[in-house]
Amino acid sequence: MKLDENFQNNSKVATNGMLKKVFLTVFTVVISILMMGAVNSQASSSKVNNYIASHNIKHNSVSKQIWSGFPRNKYRHGKNKPEGVVVHETGNSSSNIWGEIAYMKKNYRNAFVHTFVDSGHIINIASTKYLCWGVGYPGNARFVQFEQVQMHHKKSFAEEVENAAYYTAYILKEYHLKPNDACYDGKGTVWSHRAVAHYLGGSDHTDPNGYYKNRGKKYFHQSYTMSQFYKLVLTNYGNL
Ligand SMILES: [Zn+2]
């Protein structure tokens, strides 16, 4: 009797243990699947990009207003040979595109970029055949660079981002460059100032990441990221 009782008790314990193990395994698998789903949907669904598509937001055309006062220096591979595009944001919360352009013409000896973008304009002020001075050495000798002026409304931010993505795609197409996100590995044709600073040096700037994150959260309850921006560049590139 005692032996049988022990045997029964032991087998109960064993059964309980196995059930626990099975339950834990199933639980872990279910949680993993749920987490993978959350990560995937975050990566594949950008609220800003979706808003641009669902509101049928269209880019402006590029307005060339080249100022002859900027210095003309060749890229490292020569005139007309940029290797990619750098996306900037001014970091100035109280300026507009006209003020930014006027300021840059006055202060070009310190820094200048090729183009300015806002919700209603893409204004090219320095010839993209020659390098500009927006990210320091060595990036300046490699890239076309443009600034985004800060926007303060949901729709104007979305319009600006669409203009920025279109302009990036437009430059890639113009110079026969293949789209390739450089922001996560330091290799490619689409760069943030932050990625240039991180992978190539030349400055310690982190734009436009902070601006994208801030406006995304403020107006769309989701950070806007360079990888989401890159997807919008691909969409625009496909439409060219
Ligand atoms: Zn910058």
Q: Can you give the CATH number for the domain in which 197 is found?
A: 3.40.80.10
CA 192–ligand 1 middle distance (angstroms): 8
119 shares its domain with 59: yes
227 shares its domain with 176: yes
CA 19–ligand 1 middle distance (angstroms): 58
Instruction: Give the total number of structural domains in the chain.
Output: 2
CA 228–ligand 1 middle distance (angstroms): 19
Kindly indicate the confidence band of residue 22, based on its pLDDT and cuts at 50, 70 and 90: low
Kindly indicate the confidence band of residue 238, based on its pLDDT and cuts at 50, 70 and 90: very high
89 shares its domain with 39: no
CA 196–ligand 1 middle distance (angstroms): 9
Q: Is the pLDDT of residue 2 over 50?
A: no
185 shares its domain with 210: yes
What pLDDT does residue 182 have?
A: 98
CA 233–ligand 1 middle distance (angstroms): 19
CA 98–ligand 1 middle distance (angstroms): 18
CA 194–ligand 1 middle distance (angstroms): 7
56 shares its domain with 129: yes
**pLDDT above 70 covers what percent of the chain?**
82
Q: Whole-number mean pLDDT of the chain?
A: 90
Helix (H) or strand (E) holding 94: none
What pLDDT does residue 146 have?
A: 99
In this structure, the chain runs to a length of 240
What pLDDT does residue 1 have?
A: 45
165 shares its domain with 233: yes
Residues with CB under 5 A from ligand 1 (ion): 88, 193, 205, 207
Give the Cα separation of 14 and 202 in Å (integer). Answer: 64
Domain that holds residue 17: 1-44
The residues near 151 (Cβ < 8 Å, ≥ 6 apart) are: 118, 119, 157, 159, 160, 215
100 shares its domain with 55: yes
Nearest to 118 by CA among 171, 64, 85, 156: 156
What pLDDT does residue 236 have?
A: 98
120 shares its domain with 170: yes
CA 147–ligand 1 middle distance (angstroms): 7
Note the pLDDT tens digit of each residue in 120-170.
Answer: 999 999 999 999 999 999 999 999 999 999 999 999 999 999 999 999 999
Q: Is the pLDDT of residue 106 over 60?
A: yes
CA 34–ligand 1 middle distance (angstroms): 38
Half-sphere exposure of 142 (CA within 13 A, CB side): 19
